[in-house]
Amino acid sequence: MQAVESFSFERYRETVDWLLSHTKQRPRIAIICGSGLGLLADSLKNQESFQYTDIPNFPRSTVPGHEGRLIFGELQGQPCVCMKGRFHMYEGYPLWKVTFPIRVFKLLGVETLVVTNAAGALGDSYNVGDLMVIRDHINLLGLVGENPLMGPNEDRFGPRFPALSDAYDRKIRALAMETARQLGYTSFVKEGVYCMVSGPNFESIAEARLLHSLGVDAVGMSTAAEVVVARHCGLRVFGMSLITNKVTKDYDTQELVDHHGVLEVSQRRASTLQKLLTELVGKLESIDNSSGN
């Protein structure tokens, strides 16, 4: 069997030391902005920004809608770091490199990871423009042997066999739903199950029907692998999907989805997502940090 390649602990440390030497900010919350959702990163106060290409060991983001900058700053008084653009397996990166920033965040002192994405709806009750709080996920890649934790375990990050029954923090999810109620967003904010596929093609009708039968509410090409690594190293996680399209499950339909359409919906709904997450981040300090689950 071919050996599984990965970064050593020292490579992560090299990246962290570079960042610590270039900024005095010490984030406690990390936010990953999905396709077209970088507006939240732009709203940080006291910003310090770094191009991914300038950061040692960082991959490059190659997808439209993913600008490729790491931004430090404050949101609602909370010290944060935002990824304005993430990495994907379909760009040619192995999953250990896709998830590289997560362990960097851990070593920076981050305690909470917020992941956002653009996703296609499989659930019949979902509409374009809805926001879905992720209750759980199906890591389809992990089920078929593509897992970012494969290879020798690094005990300094976490255990060999991490549990994922508590992947998405219950208290933060409840707080998000209460915040949505306070903002008057209840008609389009729901909770559901997300599934990660590899992409870059969108799903065939047969694949969409299969995922729907498995209980998947929304499907996308990111997030689950990041969450696996985050939970492995002890970060608490909150996830939210912006529903940018309805996944076709009917052979008689003539509708086709494309990335340009995804970005258009993301840009129209980005301010709403930003408002909800900004309010939520401001309330995170009220949650017990001991376990959160």
SS3 171: helix
Q: Is 222 a catalytic residue?
A: yes
Rounded Cα gap, residues 75 and 81, in angstroms:
9
Residue tagged active-site, from 88, 137, 212, 232: 88
Residue tagged active-site, from 6, 12, 83, 91: 91
Q: Is 137 a catalytic residue?
A: no
Q: Any long-range contacts for 15-19 (C-beta under 8 Å, 24+ apart)? A: 15/55, 15/56, 15/57, 15/58, 15/100, 15/104, 16/104, 16/107, 16/108, 18/55, 18/56, 19/50, 19/55, 19/70, 19/104, 19/108
Residue tagged active-site, from 48, 90, 150, 207: 90
Residue tagged active-site, from 41, 83, 89, 118: 118
Residue tagged active-site, from 89, 176, 221, 224: 221
Residue tagged active-site, from 12, 30, 35, 203: 35
Q: Is 22 a catalytic residue?
A: no
Q: Is 89 a catalytic residue?
A: no
Residue tagged active-site, from 6, 43, 245, 266: 245
Q: Is 286 a catalytic residue?
A: no
Residue tagged active-site, from 12, 43, 61, 66: 66
Rounded Cα gap, residues 123 and 171, in angstroms:
24
Residue tagged active-site, from 222, 224, 225, 226: 222
253: number of Cβ within 10 Å: 10
Q: Is 117 a catalytic residue?
A: no
Instruction: List, by residue number, the catalytic residues.
Output: 35, 66, 88, 90-91, 118, 221-222, 245, 259
